[in-house]
Amino acid sequence: MTFPEPGRRPGGVGQFPVVAVVALGGGLGATARYAASLWWSAQPGGFPWTTFWVNVVGCAVIGLFLVLITETLTPHRLVRPFFGTGVLGGFTTFSTYAVDLQQLFDTGHPRTALAYLAATPLAALTAVWLAATATRQVVAGVRLTGRYGTLEADNPGVPDMEGKKSS
């Protein structure tokens, strides 16, 4: 079996909360995607900008989120299934990308189709890579300042702390 969590049998009772929060997140993500499609409705035969941006934004956010929770924070075990698998997975879509492509080819818009075919994976991969890289750099910067902060707080000669304690 793959990645069984410590002390839990795969597919056992421990799975229920995970599946439940994935469902909850999926409902939210799908709703947000549908809302986006209503606010910026795409023209038939045109470049599907709404789905394009939904996917690119979702990829940027997952790059930021997964670097934060796998390399920096140690959040509750349901955070990743809820937000990563549920919300972002439900928000982004591969099926609409493929079927919109099929429709563009089928209705005689091969140039738009080819542009969309190439632009989505390029932009999505760039977004996830940029977001992950930027998050790692910000995290490294925060760790550095955090260390100085600790040193200062540990230093008994800092007047601020002493003053507050005596008053």
Partner 1 sequence: MNWVVIVAGGMIGAPLRYLTDRAVQARHDSVLPWGTFVVNVVGCLVLGVLTGAASVDPDLRLFLGTGLCGALTTYSTFSYETLRLTETGAGLYALANVVGSVAAGLGAAFAGVALGEAVWP
The footprint of partner 1 (CB under 8 A) covers: 1-3, 10, 18-19, 22-31, 33-34, 37, 55, 58-59, 61-63, 66, 81, 84-86, 88-99, 101-103, 106, 117, 120-121, 124-125, 127-129, 132
Contacts of 95 (CB under 8 A, 6+ apart): none
Q: In the bound complex, what is the minimum distance in angstroms from residue 82's beta carbon to partner 1? A: 10
Nearer to partner 1, 99 or 161 (CB): 99
| DSSP element (H, E) containing 95 | helix 95-106
CB of 45 to partner 1, least distance (A): 15
Q: Which is nearer to partner 1, 136 or 161 (CB)?
A: 136
Does 89 show up as a binding residue in the annotation? yes
48 three-state secondary structure: coil
Q: Please give the Cα distance from 134 to 17 (Å, whole number).
A: 32
Separation CA 65–CA 76 (nearest Å): 14
Q: How far is the CB of 32 from partner 1 (least distance, A)?
A: 9
Nearer to partner 1, 72 or 103 (CB): 103
Contact (CB, 8 A) for 52 and 101? no
Q: How far is the CB of 166 from partner 1 (least distance, A)?
A: 52
Cα 159 off chain centre by: 43
Please check whether residue 129 is in contact with residue 61, taking contact to mean a CB–CB distance below 8 angstroms.
no
What's phi and psi for 156, nearest 5 deg?
-70, -15
> Which residue lies nearer to partner 1 by CB, 35 or 142?
35
Q: Can you say which residues are annotated as belonging to the binding site?
A: 89, 92
Q: Can you say which residues are annotated as belonging to the binding site for Na(+)?
A: 89, 92
